[in-house]
Copies of this chain bind each other. A is one copy, B any other.
Amino acid sequence: MINIAILGFGVVGSGVAEVLKQNADSITQKLSGEKINIKYILDKRTFPDHELGDRVTTDFEKIVSDPEIVMIVETMGGSHPAYDFSKQAICAGKNVVTSNKEVVANYGTELLELAKSHSVNYLFEASVGGGIPIIRPMWECLAANKIQSVTGILNGTTNFILTKMIEEGMDFDEALSLAQCLGYAEANPAADVEGMDTCRKICILASLAFGTAIDPKNVHCEGITKISSEDVAAAETLGYSIKLLGKAEKRAEGTYIITAPHLVGYDNPMSGVRDVYNAITVCGNAVGDVMFYGRGAGKLPTASAVVSDIIDIARVCKEPMTWTFSDEDTCMDHKNAPVRFFVRTNDPNAKDYFAGCVFCDCEDGTYAFITDEDTEFKLSEKLNNISVLSAIRVL
């Protein structure tokens, strides 16, 4: 049994509990049978109706002095007391996992150093890009490379606002109101729309990529509040999308780092990143450009990153990467799976057999349509009735 404590039972903290419960069986398997137990939850509020309600405490001292606690999960947000508690926990020999970009950006250097000297881990995958794996891949999977640059759409709220401005012609205020209605933006949206959130995250990525701490206070930071719908339209005419980017680049003169809106050309896959999605492009001198893409925020995506860090620490006696042989045939017959087919045909009967589908005329006199969903087996039988030029599955 691995005992942990969660500090802060808000969106992310309760998401961590949810993921640990929902995937308990597969997680226990990954830990060779060891179970993770949430022994304490630190929060000022009480949660009488929650099944973990009896673990809630306001007493941090009790947590940090409990020798059974090997790991502390800091999901409080804000610098204080999150930083102070993290420091105390590390000094008490506890591993710390965090989703708190403010603490990592402002105090990461000190806490990482402290963790090293106490032989514990300070892990922060969830602090950048929500559930997108980026911190560890950059550290481990791209270790062969000298990282030359990191560029990211790192804030879902502002990307949502810009998407609405681009696709629906909204102006900034209108798009911000919508984001607030949908719960994507807070009542006070300054940290998002003025770029500070993006700035903290690009500082974390740049510090890790280049090995030297970069303080957000030293980084030029512009938000998106001055972007007008006229800008968006004119950029579109020129073949660009406007995106709020964090950008860090190793140059002969030093590290070039900036947070600001940028025009991104349509040939760059980052230009197509919509809504609350995030994307981070890392350029290494061997690998070239690699991009990581996914939901950059949200309860379960962020919890996914936190829990993966928890598992990593719990895998003290690291299970090797593996899969097992199974005697049973675990694959189903692909003909029994539901699919849709794109069909190209010159058979006039097709419109009868596939009535209800939308038919589109092709230049060469043939026509094409997409079937409704059915098993491949049944669709193949139905397609046998007509003369088919092409049948291709639809994702």
Contact = CB atoms under 8 A, between A and B. Distances in A.
A321 interface: yes
Contacts of A122: 320
Contacts of A321: 112, 123, 135-136, 139, 208
Contacts of A151: 395
A212 B326 contact: yes
A372 interface: no
Nearest to A134: B141
Interface residues of A, number: 128
A235 B360 CA distance: 10
Contacts of A142: 133, 304, 308
Interface string A115-157: 1100001110100000111011101111111100001000000
B144 A366 contact: no
Interface in A367-395: 368, 370, 389-390, 392-395
B131 A366 contact: no
Interface in A205-258: 207-208, 210-214, 218-220, 226-228, 230-231, 233-235, 237-238, 240, 242-243, 245, 247, 249, 251, 253-258
Interface string A255-288: 1111011111100111011000000000011111
A255 B286 contact: no
B392 A230 contact: no
A167 to B, nearest CB: 11
B227 A390 contact: yes
A320 B290 contact: no
A324 B212 contact: yes
A288 B295 CA distance: 7
A67 B35 CA distance: 39
A190 B155 CA distance: 44
B230 A263 contact: no
Contacts of A326: 212-213
A188 interface: no
A179 to B, nearest CB: 19
Given A294-B289, A322-B116, A311 B143 contact: yes
Contacts of A112: 320-323
A285 B22 contact: yes
Nearest to A277: B269
B213 A308 contact: no
Given A136-B137, A145-B304, A293-B290, A240 B342 contact: yes
Nearest to A293: B291
A208 B323 contact: yes
A344 interface: yes
Given A238-B368, A286-B300, 19 more contacts: A22-B286, A23-B144, A23-B145, A109-B325, A133-B133, A140-B308, A141-B305, A143-B311, A143-B312, A210-B323, A212-B326, A237-B368, A238-B342, A238-B360, A268-B395, A287-B294, A287-B304, A287-B305, A291-B293
Of all A-B residue pairs in the complex, the 10 with the closest CB atoms, nearest first, are A133-B141, A144-B307, A290-B294, A254-B332, A131-B287, A234-B368, A286-B304, A287-B304, A291-B293, A133-B137
25 contacts: A131-B284, A133-B140, A139-B321, A143-B307, A145-B308, A212-B325, A213-B324, A219-B331, A227-B390, A228-B389, A231-B342, A231-B390, A238-B370, A251-B332, A251-B337, A253-B332, A263-B370, A272-B272, A284-B304, A286-B303, A286-B304, A288-B295, A288-B301, A291-B292, A291-B293
